[in-house]
Amino acid sequence: MARVYNFSAGPSMLPEAVLKTAADEMLDYQGSGQSVMEMSHRSKTYDKIIKDAEALLREIMNIPDNYKVMFLQGGGSTQFAMVALNFMNKNNKADYIITGQWAKKAYKEAARYGDAKAVASSEDKTFSYIPKTDKSMFREDADYVYICMNNTIYGTVYHELPDTGDIPLIADISSCILSEPIDVTKFGALFAGAQKNMAPAGLTIAIVREDLIGNAMDICPTMLNYKTHADADSLFNTPPCYTIYIAKLVLEWIKNEVGGLDKMKELNEKKAKLLYDFLDNSELFKGTVVPEDRSLMNVPFVTGNPDLDAKFVKEATEAGLVNIKGHRTVGGMRASIYNAMPYEGVVALVDFMKKFEAENK
């Protein structure tokens, strides 16, 4: 059976080599006589898997020792509450930059627990750019400033981080984790749902500076307190064992096959350039994001004619280029070209777009 090129915003493609290893190890993981799915999370065999996954993540992302790495559940969306419950703890104030649906949801969740302020937004132009900010826009007594680094739905990314001075910067990196190097020291905390660039759904990564852990609000549920999971090395309760195992395989793929995040970035830039260059020169298709804020991971584009967009999506699907329909708030198409999308997949997409353009002029 032929595999399709899956341009879904998430869950998304996984590297084929990872799927093959997982298949090979499905019935008998390295002589244990069982699948990782069936294994006790307290077993020696599993302990090595979760420890290796953390060590690999630390090595690949260059995470300093004063940051805790946690393997959690509940998706990016649970982090919206966790961030507020754990970090809105001194003055009960936090500043949010609204760059799309995910940032807005995080802001609304925080507003349930304290004084959340939307300090900037790009909603006026359907989130097609990253709003400019400077230090004076943030409240001096804000407990943190929050951003969504890569905006999955709208295809924008922060190429330059906001200057927040001494206020900790918290970022949702769900759709750009591991796509390029990130300077972790610039953040108080980072989190990501795994299903975009790391693993199947079910795992959420949190990377939190140690001094920010341990001051959660009194009402914070035990399971939503970072301290609970940091103190227990992510084994307070049963973690998403199998998903962590796949994340480990993906991390090994990045380290050994790709050659690290600098290389990963090069590959991602090469893929994105192919698509953006085509969009910039096409007479039919156009990108929806201002060039300086374009994402390497999510590329929304339109023809300007909803009927033609629908025809494109239908014919692309028939050609094995699937899940390319845009989000309903943007319309048109969106190609998510995460780490595991091979270069050949983007070549196939651009070739198909050329053909479609010629046939529909």
Ligand X SMILES: *Cc1c(COP(=O)(O)O)cnc(C)c1O
Which of 6, 71, 138, 196 binds ligand X (CB under 6 A)? It is 196
86 marked as part of a ligand binding site: no
SS3 content of the chain, % helix, strand, coil (to 5): 40, 15, 45
Name the residue nearer to ligand X (CB basis): 109 or 172.
172
User: Tokens standing for 150?
Assistant: 């890569």
168 binds ligand X (CB under 6 A): no
Given the residues 95, 143, 172, 293, the one annotated as active site: 172
Alpha-carbon distances, residue 199 vs 40, 92, 246 (angstroms) = 20, 34, 6
Number of residues binding to ligand X, judged by CB under 6 A: 12
148 binds ligand X (CB under 6 A): yes
131 binds ligand X (CB under 6 A): no
**Residues 28-67 close enough to bind ligand X by CB under 6 A:** none
Check if 253 is active-site: no
Residue 175 CB, shortest distance to ligand X, in Å, is 4
193 binds ligand X (CB under 6 A): yes
**CA geometry: angle at 195 spanning 193 and 199, to 5°?**
105
75 binds ligand X (CB under 6 A): yes
**Residue of closest CB approach to ligand X:** 75
345 binds ligand X (CB under 6 A): no
Binding mask 172-191 for ligand X (x = CB under 6 A): x-xx----------------
10 binds ligand X (CB under 6 A): yes
238 marked as part of a ligand binding site: yes
102 marked as part of a ligand binding site: yes
122 binds ligand X (CB under 6 A): no
Backbone angles phi, psi at 284, to 5 degrees: -100, -45
256 marked as part of a ligand binding site: no
Task: Indicate the helix (H) or strand (E) that contains 49.
Answer: helix 44-61
User: Tokens standing for 100?
Assistant: 């799309």
Are the beta carbons of 244 and 70 closer than 8 angstroms? no
- Cβ neighbors of 59 (< 8 A, separation 6 or more) are 255
Residue 92 DSSP symbol: S
Contacts of 281-289 with C-beta under 8 Å, sequence gap 24+, read: 282/353, 282/357, 283/357, 283/361, 284/308, 284/356, 284/357, 284/360, 284/361, 285/353, 285/357, 287/155, 288/126, 288/128, 288/154, 288/155, 288/330, 288/332, 289/128, 289/129, 289/154, 289/155, 289/156
Which of 77, 92, 126, 317 binds ligand X (CB under 6 A)? It is 77
73 binds ligand X (CB under 6 A): no
Name the residue nearer to ligand X (CB basis): 202 or 332.
202
Check if 172 is active-site: yes
195 marked as part of a ligand binding site: yes
* C-alpha radius of gyration, the chain, whole number: 21
Task: Indicate the helix (H) or strand (E) that contains 334.
Answer: strand 333-336
Residue with tokens 């999971």: 229
Catalytic annotation, residues: 102, 172, 196
- Binding site residue list for pyridoxal 5'-phosphate: 76-77, 102, 152, 172, 195, 237-238
Residues forming contacts to ligand X in the complex (CB under 6 A) are 10, 75-77, 102, 148, 152, 172, 174-175, 193, 196
- Binding site residue list for L-glutamate: 42
- Binding site residue list: 42, 76-77, 102, 152, 172, 195, 237-238
